[in-house]
């Protein structure tokens, strides 16, 4: 085995920055750039510098190990993919403008892979043939390309990013479920090895189809997702979270019969509630939509809630909001819609939480007018009850009825049971036990490699910079000789660094002719888990300083014991991430 030497800062290409990049809104973006881990190339496109690349490779290796531990095999599929495959699955059109498309010199169309369901299905069809060869699980770690409408937050939402994607093929549902559960468990272990504080949450299967799915959310205020969770263990993306919204017992709901009130206000719930002197939750909010066939519906939700578009899409697949023009044509009065006296053919679709609210305060389908006391059953009927409202603070868990808590999260991974969506559309069949051809049952499992790297930094930083967990730090220990050229400091520091290396520790030595302050700042900014500070005065007393980046604690170690103690400390922390 080649001898391993310490990394030398004097040789390293690691141009750290004092200033924050102007476009950085969040800690991970700011710090990954300042600590010389990444550099922007274009919007949502980044290069990795040597230090960032070391962390990225370590992260990839953790993901790889966890995939291999559950019997998934690594391969490497191409990124450039013929359009024909995307036509077969129907996603050439479904994927929309997020798909990067290009033509070759013969005008043949290609896509840059945003994900690899098409290619893997193409790869195995006609070659994976018999139930006897199943299940199979394959993965790769490659760049993905998505022309995101809003690339932002550095590595969190890029247009070029690294994903680990695994795909599994099965003869039976039970087999698919088994692999899916193993993948979910592996994702939990990856989170733990990365030191991520996370939640597995119920989620929408979106673009990709399929019914059973779970997202892995790293908790962070910078996260774009919101999670509803409960002490009973229930956790879901708020896009799909079910909640018990308390039916409100307000006098407006029990009061007298239907009466029309002149409400000359801006058509907002806040204005209506203020005008009537009732809380917003005592009102009912209306939104108008159409389905792909053109059937119109007015949706009703509690006045203080927002519409959950993902849930609405389950109730009315492919729905779109009506434009002002369409509303006008349909005879719908914006800001004043209600279930009493809607134009013919417009359906009343209401959130399930309104079922127990007998009398509604709601629009009167007439400008500047609302109804109070509109009674379900007598004044109007609801055509469809559906779960439409976005869960929010104050709502209760649908499982145990305790109040839900809310947190923001970064989606670092997602596991799906795809079923036969791709095997059917792309004609990928196997022979079952009875000699019948059947489409494969498939699972797919995506992990955001570059995104999870940023998520780690998002959770592990302080005012000094990044605080890497040992598992993916670019090196484990930094040795800082405070005075280069000094005939005690420099050789002692070098010896410590070499000896630590010999004990299998990953070491960097800051052998630059820089002031101590510069070395301290860079070491904190880059975020080496441990620092060994070798100074003149310390050496005179026969000691070096050992600093734990995370706690900031410093201890003096006797020179003759330092290497052994430091190596033991590193190995101890390392073991916690295995
Ligand atoms: P999002 O909802 O955040 O756009 P997605 O659900 O479209 O993500 P998937 O198709 O499930 O993403 O991809 C698998 C994983 O790839 C995600 O869990 C995420 O970690 C990562 N990922 C997806 N899009 C990006 C992106 N634009 N930049 C970086 N990582 C991404
Ligand atoms: Mg996803």
Q: What is the pLDDT of residues 493-529, one digit of tens each?
A: 999 999 999 999 999 999 999 999 999 999 999 999 9
Q: How far is the CA of 149 from the centre of ligand 1 (A)?
A: 13
Q: Stretch 332-343: mean pLDDT, rounded?
A: 94
Q: Stretch 139-165: mean pLDDT, rounded?
A: 97
Task: Establish whether domains 27-242+406-458 and 251-386 are of one fold.
Answer: no
Q: Is the CB of 91 under 6 A from ligand 1?
A: no
Instruction: Give the C-alpha separation, 110 to 369, whole Å.
Output: 55
State the pLDDT at residue 358.
86
State the pLDDT at residue 66.
98
Q: What is the pLDDT of residues 223-271, one digit of tens each?
A: 999 999 999 999 999 999 999 997 666 665 566 688 899 999 887 899 9
Rounded (10°) angle between helices 27-34 and 449-459: 100
Q: How far is the CA of 414 from the centre of ligand 2 (A)?
A: 5
Q: How far is the CA of 231 from the centre of ligand 2 (A)?
A: 24
Instruction: Give the C-alpha separation, 391 to 171, whole Å.
Output: 38
Q: How far is the CA of 101 from the centre of ligand 2 (A)?
A: 21
Torsion angle, alpha carbons of 159, 81, 447, 242, to 10: 80
Instruction: Give the C-alpha separation, 533 to 543, whole Å.
Output: 10
State the pLDDT at residue 250.
62
Does the structure show a pLDDT above 60 at 208? Answer: no
> Which residues on neighbouring strands pair with residue 302, listed in sequence order?
284
What does the domain layout of the chain look like in residue ranges?
27-242+406-458, 251-386, 475-576
Q: Stretch 72-87: mean pLDDT, rounded?
A: 98
Does the structure show a pLDDT above 80 at 205? Answer: no
Q: Is the CB of 412 under 6 A from ligand 1?
A: yes
pTM (two decimals):
0.93
Tell me which residue has its CA closest to atom 20 in ligand 1. 448
Q: What is the CATH number of domain 251-386?
A: 3.90.960.10
Q: How far is the CA of 143 from the centre of ligand 1 (A)?
A: 12
Q: Which atom of ligand 1 is nearest to the CA of 165?
A: 14
State the pLDDT at residue 258.
86
**Of 209 and 383, more confident:** 383
Q: What is the CATH number of domain 27-242+406-458?
A: 3.30.930.10
Which residues are CB-neighbours of 230 under 8 A, at least 6 positions away?
397, 399, 400, 402, 404, 405
Does the structure show a pLDDT above 70 at 300? Answer: yes
Q: Stretch 58-67: mean pLDDT, rounded?
A: 98
Pairing status of strand 296-302 against strand 320-321: unpaired
For residue 3, the tally of other CB atoms under 10 A from its CB is 7
Q: At 543, phi and psi to the nearest 5?
A: -140, 155
Tell me the pLDDT of the chain averaged across its residues: 95
Q: What is the pLDDT of residues 353-400, one digit of tens each?
A: 999 888 899 999 999 999 999 999 999 999 999 999 999 999 999 999
Instruction: Give the C-alpha separation, 160 to 155, whole Å.
Output: 9
Instruction: Give the C-alpha separation, 94 to 207, whole Å.
Output: 8
Q: What is the pLDDT of residues 120-133, one digit of tens each?
A: 999 999 999 999 99
Topology classification of domain 475-576 = Rossmann fold (3.40.50)
Tell me which residue has its CA closest to atom 8 in ligand 1. 411
Q: Is the CB of 409 under 6 A from ligand 1?
A: no
């Amino acid at each position: 085995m080649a001898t391993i030497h310490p990394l030398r800062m004097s040789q390293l290409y690691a141009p750290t920055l004092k200033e924050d990049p102007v476009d950085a809104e969040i800690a991970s973006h700011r710090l990954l750039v300042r600590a010389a881990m990444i550099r922007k190339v274009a919007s949502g496109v980044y290069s990795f510098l040597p230090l960032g690349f070391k962390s990225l490779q370590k992260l990839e290796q953790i993901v790889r190990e966890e995939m291999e531990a559950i019997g998934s095999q690594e391969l490497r599929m191409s990124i450039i993919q013929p359009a024909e495959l995307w036509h077969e699955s129907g996603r050439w059109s479904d994927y929309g403008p997020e798909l990067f498309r290009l033509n070759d010199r013969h005008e043949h169309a290609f896509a840059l892979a945003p994900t690899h369901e098409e290619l893997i299905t193409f790869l195995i069809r006609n070659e994976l043939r018999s139930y006897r060869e199943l299940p199979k699980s394959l993965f790769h770690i490659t760049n993905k390309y998505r022309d995101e409408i809003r690339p932002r937050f550095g590595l969190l939402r890029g247009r070029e990013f690294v994903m680990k994607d695994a795909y599994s093929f099965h003869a039976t549902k039970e087999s698919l479920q088994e692999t899916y559960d193993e993948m979910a468990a592996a994702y939990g272990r990856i989170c733990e090895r990365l030191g991520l504080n996370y939640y597995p949450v119920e989620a929408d299967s979106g673009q990709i189809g399929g019914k059973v799915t779970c997202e892995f959310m790293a908790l962070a205020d910078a996260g774009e997702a919101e999670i509803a969770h409960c002490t009973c263990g229930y956790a879901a993306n708020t896009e799909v979270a079910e909640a018990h919204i308390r039916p409100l017992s307000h006098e407006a709901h029990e009061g007298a019969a239907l009466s029309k009130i002149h409400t000359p206000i801006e058509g907002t719930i806040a204005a209506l509630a203020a005008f009537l002197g009732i809380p917003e939750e005592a009102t009912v909010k209306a939104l108008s939509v159409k389905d792909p066939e053109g059937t119109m519906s007015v949706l009703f939700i509690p006045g203080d809630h927002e519409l959950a578009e993902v849930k609405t899409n389950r109730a009315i697949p492919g729905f779109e909001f009506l434009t002002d023009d369409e509303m006008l044509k349909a005879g719908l009065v914006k800001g004043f819609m209600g279930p009493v006296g809607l134009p013919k053919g417009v359906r009343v679709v209401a959130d399930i939480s309104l079922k127990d609210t007998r009398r509604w305060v709601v629009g009167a389908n007439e400008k500047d007018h609302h109804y109070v006391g509109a009674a379900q059953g007598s004044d109007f009927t609801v055509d469809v009850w559906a779960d439409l409202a976005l869960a929010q603070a104050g709502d209760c868990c649908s499982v145990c009825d305790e109040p839900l808590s809310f947190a923001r999260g970064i989606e670092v991974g997602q596991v799906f049971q795809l079923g036969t969506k791709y095997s059917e559309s792309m004609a990928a069949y196997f022979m079952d036990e009875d000699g019948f051809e059947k489409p494969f049952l498939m699972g797919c499992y995506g992990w955001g490699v570059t995104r999870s790297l940023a998520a780690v930094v998002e959770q592990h930083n302080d005012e000094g910079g990044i605080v890497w967990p040992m598992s993916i730090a670019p090196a484990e220990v930094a040795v800082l000789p405070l005075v280069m050229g000094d005939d005690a400091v420099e050789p002692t520091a070098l010896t410590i660094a070499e000896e630590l290396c010999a004990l299998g520790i990953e070491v960097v030595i800051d052998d630059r002719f820089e002031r101590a302050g510069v070395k301290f700042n860079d070491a904190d900014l880059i975020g080496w888990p441990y620092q060994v500070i070798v100074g003149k005065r310390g050496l005179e007393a026969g000691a070096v300083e050992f600093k734990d980046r995370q706690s900031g604690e410093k201890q003096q170690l006797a020179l003759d014991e330092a290497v052994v103690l430091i190596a033991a400390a590193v190995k101890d922390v390392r073991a916690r991430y295995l």
